[in-house]
Amino acid sequence: MKPTISMQHFHWTFLVLLICLHPVHHLEAQEPDRTRPPQLGPPPTLQVPLIEHLELSNGLKVLLVEKHEVPLVQVNLLVMAGSVMEPAGRVGLASMTADMLDEGAGPRSALELADAIDFLGADISTDAGRHTAMVSLNTPLSKLDDALHLMADIALRPTFPAEELDRLRKQRLTTLTQWHDEPRDVANVLFDQILYGPDHPYGRPTLGNENSLKAMRVRDLKKFHKSCYRPNNATLIVAGDVTAESILPRLEKAFGKWKKRKVRTLSWPAVEQVTERKIYLVDRPGAPQSEIRLGRIGVSRPTDDYFAIVVMNTILGGSFTSRIMQNLREEHGYTYGARSSFAFRPLPGPFLASSAVQTEVTDKALVEFMKELKGILTPVPDEELTKARNFLALRFPERFQTVSAIARQLADLTIYGLPDDYFNTYTERILSISVKEVARVAEKYIDPARIAIIVVGDREQVEEGLRALDYGPVELLTVKDVLGEIPQLPAGD
């Protein structure tokens, strides 16, 4: 009987013939070239799903983006009730009000609220910044109705228990005490003070101060909440596994009876730009590092220069491979990290370059900072510009990976009045920025000759070197000059 050839035997025979016909060195020649990084392809375009603009019966605006891949829902209540809305002498009131929202609301105490939220597998948090306060809910779709009820209690019906206010007051006073031992906090507080002064809301900590915290009473929180937390001063942002038809009745049930009220409008003092270069040296005896801050008044978010500034700052100090980081960390080893940023806000925020450096190289590090600030004023190479644009374009889609991330992005549309197509055109606008535009905004917003320089460190070791730089007058300060006396905690603490 004639033997048969198995299919397995046939495959091995074919493989041997293939190797004979195509020698090994030919196969090796097809391996990828690992001597250089692979070339990047064009950044992908991002198409954010349709942003739906809805409204409840009381006028409360709703922004909705559907995302149905996972049965989760994010609901953020954004209220224009940040620290800029605080009455005179009530520093810290906005953030304390937000912190107290979930310390007791509706019929529940703080612990009962926490237990009810945990039972649902949801998360509810509260926060306040300079312009906004936010109540954020992340919940499984199956628990949305119950979670919205708890969220509405927290946002609309907080009880502000006096004992919880006392506890949070002590925590904040303790934090203010700790700041006296933290050069980083001293530098941050002084930086804002120098640029904006004590009468501007950007010039003072949102946490509050000893006098305002000790004077704060439950009635102050209730009054602030009553005056600012109103549907005509707020927006609901929803992202997740819902449709307009399914979410609107639920939102109406939770927030529809919230009553409108006239919200006062405020004006803030004009801010003068830094007009000279000056060093403010805060003595911190024995400090192993010096905290360095350089800055001036920047620009508000609605500026037409936004995209050019973002690209320019990415090159200067806004990424790990930026000039400032590569210089101070990689080339000189002065620090673990150094960066620059523009704080884009409704009012002009600061431009800031910062780092913590070894004490013995404080003056040398400052020289390198100034070198990079001057260097960005000359046209950047095309290759460096391309790298910065690609860095921004390729990272942009990660802002929309989760429902909570999408909701955070949508907040910008409300706060800054951005158009609905902003996200879909972002990459295109970043990639269109030219060398000429980078040079123009650098010249407009970076001025090394007119900049405030803050150094918090050991005066005995750094003062002589700083004065030798001849960067302008040197003003000597103490931690007490910046933060005042160490807060006295209430008796019994």
- Residues 467, 278: contact at Cβ < 8 Å? no
Question: From CA 327, how far away is CA 375, in angstroms rounded?
Answer: 12
Q: Can you tell me the mean pLDDT for 224-247?
A: 97
Q: What is the average pLDDT across 53-57?
A: 97
Is the CA virtual torsion 413, 419, 420, 422 positive or negative? negative
- How many CB atoms are closer than 10 A to CB 20? 8
Quote the pLDDT of residue 446. Answer: 97
288 touches 359 (CB < 8 A): yes
What are the CA-CA distances from residue 207 to residues 168, 293, 479 (Å)? 11, 21, 18
CATH 3.30.830.10 domain range(s) in the chain: 52-255, 278-483
Tokens representing 341 are 């940023």
pLDDT at 178: 97
The alpha carbon of residue 405 and the mean position of all alpha carbons in its chain are separated, in whole angstroms, by 12
Helix, strand, coil percent values for the chain (each to nearest 5): 45, 15, 35
The pLDDT tens digits for 238-295 are 999 999 999 999 999 999 999 999 998 888 888 899 999 999 999 999 999 999 999 9
- pLDDT value at residue 266: 80
Task: Please report which confidence band the pLDDT of residue 45 belongs to, taking 50, 70 and 90 as the band edges.
Answer: low
Helix (H, G, I), strand (E, B) or coil at 456: strand
How far, in whole angstroms, is CA 248 from its chain's centroid?
A: 30
Task: Tell me the average pLDDT across 465-493.
Answer: 91
At the topology level, CATH places domain 52-255 in Cytochrome Bc1 Complex; Chain A, domain 1 (3.30.830)
Mind listing the pLDDT tens digit for each residue in 111-137? 999 999 999 999 999 999 999 999 999
Confidence of residue 13 (pLDDT cuts 50, 70, 90): very low
Helix (H, G, I), strand (E, B) or coil at 140: strand
Candidates 331, 330, 376; CA nearest to 353 is 376
Domain range 278-483, CATH architecture: 2-Layer Sandwich (3.30)
